[in-house]
Each structure stands twice: as structure tokens, then as C-alpha cells.
Amino acid sequence: MYPRHKSSVKSQPRPRCGKGSCFMDTKLQEYAKLLIEVGLNVQKGQTLIISSPVECASFARLCADAAYDAGCREVIMNWSDDYLSRQKFLRADTSVFDDTPEWREKFFTSYAEMGAAYLAIAASDPETLKGVDPDRLVRSQKSGSVLRKTFDRLQMSNGFPWCIASVPIPSWAATVFPELPEDQATEKLWDAILRSVRIQGDGTAVSAWRQHLDTLSRRKDLLNKYHFKYLHYTNSLGTDLTIQLPEDHLWASGNSVMKNGVEFVANMPTEEIFTAPLKTGINGVVYSAMPLVDSGNIIDKFYFIIRDGKIVEAHAEKGEKFLKAAISVDEGASYFGEVALVPYDSPISNQKILFYNTLFDENASCHLAFGEAYPECIEGGESMTREEVQAHGLNYSLTHVDFMVGTADLSIVGTTHDGREIPVFINGNFAI
């Protein structure tokens, strides 16, 4: 589950009526409506915070329009810019990365505590921060996470509705489709994204998503019924990993529920069913199945060796120093917080596109996450203090990074508490 929130300064104009473009307008409006009505389930009188790159302004405006149509009290924008972010990491004084202004924390936390909804439009150049000193990245993440600890806790505990979605920007599209001219690459990425979120332009997206969430929920219920003690992963890459699950673990799926009963969908798209591992209960080796884009850097062909839950070795053919930096943010960053099941034969995987964006790539492949666990993955966890969640065996960290491990030949065997071995995945797909 993608939990946290890059580029040339080229605009992303809203399509205008012309050959085929009116239909595209319809699709974009349907997409914005889907995010507001299903992703966030915005309630009348609720405030909405939209975090968006400046390149995605036109789509952010459509989302704002849809929110006001739904009765939103106010839409507040939080803009970002890849170019300026890169310049800051390359040229700002080093002390800047140890001191995140308190007003940033108050901006997010104050609205979260009043129950605002948060929409994050995740679109960036996958290598925005290529060449940046990894120490600067780690220091910035640490200082920011410390100030955001209240906000992050509320987010991980479903204390407010949040949703991460995406739209193309030219630099990202060029990475995904390097063989195409920029405009064609952007158009092709638009098509891939809209298909992944079930947008056809015929007004059926909301109902299609309701059905999809019901399907995920039924499989989630089956996994909870089995109540596995262990999961054993193997594949031809060399993965041989045993994961112990907490005694009181719960599987969750696409739709999350707040304490007031309001549902929301944190990731759109989503194909995953996920839980949390026992912090000290993972042993073996696991190989990545796809590149990981983290902090604006591509990390590829990597693997971890894990003992008693802790990553003791990390190696990568590309971006190893950034991988090692990512697992050194704090003590919890070298332990695991999420186990997610996604069939290899899934709508996103079947497009045969490497998105270089975790939101999409994690929904094309079974994945794990190092860093913090979601409290909703244990019984009563959302009402527990951080210390209580940790006492139940879940990991705490300032970070949470998903990486993909699912392959076409992935095997997962579950062991129940009475010793029965049950195939969960065979050849990359569900066997139950």
C-alpha cells in the first residue's frame, strides 16, 4: 500500500474539443469524479487538501470542481515542483535538511485533526533526484517525518480519508515510453492510467469500482478465515523467504474504513490485499521483481538477506547506495511493515508496462514494504497507541517503502496454526 507523498517545466494542458478530445474531456471528468466520490468519499461540508505538482494543475482543477459539486466546504492547494525540489537538494545549505519548518507540520496536522480529506496526485520524473547526495535525502526524510509524526499516525490509522492517484507528466512518460515522441508518450501513458482505474468514458467507473472492491473484500475474508501463521515465498529469481504473521493479524483490502464508518480508497488503482508481518518473524532472501523508484532515484535488480526480521544485507546492481540509505532512515527502516498479495494476472500487470511509479507497479505484483506497519492490520489496532501496536509485534518507523517481489512463477504456501500447508499462490496467481 502506497502511503507517502518530481522534471522539466512543461505544462499539461487540459484537452480541448477537437478530434477525439471531447471524449478525453469526458474521461478526465469521470476520473476526477471517481477520486472524489469513491477514492475520498468526500462528505458535504468537508475540507479537501489537494497536493499536486504544478504540471498537473489542469487535472487538480477538475478534482476541485468535482469536490465542490459534492458539497465540499473548501479546497486548499498544496503545490510542488520537481525542478525546484531538485535545485533545493543540489544547492541549498546543508542545514536546511535538518530543520523542517513547524508550519509545514501544522498545515497538514491541523486539517487532518478536523477531518479533512487529502488527495495526493503522484506524478514525477522517476529520476528527479538522480545524483543527489543520499545523506541529504535521509536527513530531509528524518526531519520531515519527525514533524509529521502526528499526521502520519492519523494517516496510518485511517484517521482521515486519503487517496493517492496519478496523471502523466512529459518527463515521466518519456521514461516509460522512451521510444516515442514526448506527446505520443504522454498520450499513451494517459491511456494506460485510465485503463488501470477502470475509466472508459461511459459513466460506469463508479459502479465498476464498487464491484471491484467487493471482489477484493471477498478474497480478504477468505484469507482472514485461514488465519495463517506463516507464508513461504519461492521463485526462480532466488527468493526463499518465510514470513511469520502476528497471532491477531488481519488482512485488509482496497477500501479502508474510518471510525465514523465512512469508507475511502487510499490507492487508485489498487489490486492488493495486505497485512502486516511479525516484526522479528521474517527469515531468508528476497529478490526484487521490478525496479524501485525511491526519493527520485531508480534502484534496480536488488535483494535483501533477512534474519529475525532485520535486513542484514542489501545489494543492488543499480542504486545500491540509495537502497542502503532508504533502509537506514531509522532502526525500523531495516524491518518490514507490509505483506501484500497481488495476482500476476492482474489488469495492470497485463498491460506489460513498467510504470516506474510505485502506485502502479505495486499493483502489478506481490510486494513487501520495509518500514512502518498499518495498525489496521491487527485486531483493534486503529484504537491502540503506537506502543501498544509495537507490543503486538508490528514494526514502527518514520518510513514505509513498497518494493515488488511477485513474478510469473511465484509460489506462496501458507501454514495454518494447526500445521496444515495450503497453496496461496501458484505460478504467480491466487490458488485459493
Q: Where are the domains of the chain?
A: 21-205, 216-430
Bridge partners (DSSP) listed for residue 339: 275, 368
Dihedral sign for Cα atoms in the order 232, 327, 7, 16 = positive
In percent, how much of the chain has pLDDT > 70? 95
Please report which confidence band the pLDDT of residue 410 belongs to, taking 50, 70 and 90 as the band edges: very high
What are the DSSP E strand ranges found in 247-371? 255-257, 263-265, 273-275, 282-287, 292-294, 297-307, 310-318, 336-341, 367-371
Instruction: Answer yes or no: are the C-beta atoms of 27 and 62 closer than 8 Å.
Output: no
> In the numeric block, which cell numbers belong to residue 374?
498499518
pLDDT at 17: 34
- Over residues 71-94, mean pLDDT: 96
More confident call, 254 vs 224: 224
Distance CA 328, CA 6 (A): 23
Does residue 5 surpass a pLDDT of 80? no
Distance CA 104, CA 377 (A): 29
Report strand pairing: 240-244 vs 228-234.
antiparallel
Instruction: Answer yes or no: are the C-beta atoms of 45 and 90 closer than 8 Å.
Output: no
Distance CA 349, CA 366 (A): 11
Please report which confidence band the pLDDT of residue 11 belongs to, taking 50, 70 and 90 as the band edges: very low
The one-character DSSP state at 344 is S
Does residue 306 surpass a pLDDT of 60? yes
Please report which confidence band the pLDDT of residue 374 belongs to, taking 50, 70 and 90 as the band edges: very high
21-205, CATH topology level:
Thermophilic metalloprotease-like (3.40.1830)
The model's pTM: 0.88
Distance CA 245, CA 268 (A): 26
Residues 6+ apart with CB under 8 A from 322: 134, 137, 294, 295, 297, 299
Mean pLDDT of the chain: 92
Instruction: Answer yes or no: are the C-beta atoms of 53 and 124 closer than 8 Å.
Output: yes
Distance CA 291, CA 176 (A): 12
Write the pLDDT tens digit of every residue in 38-81: 999 999 999 999 999 999 999 999 999 999 999 999 999 999 99
**Alpha-helical segments (H) within 199-319:** 205-226
Instruction: Answer yes or no: are the C-beta atoms of 117 and 71 closer than 8 Å.
Output: no
More confident call, 103 vs 149: 103
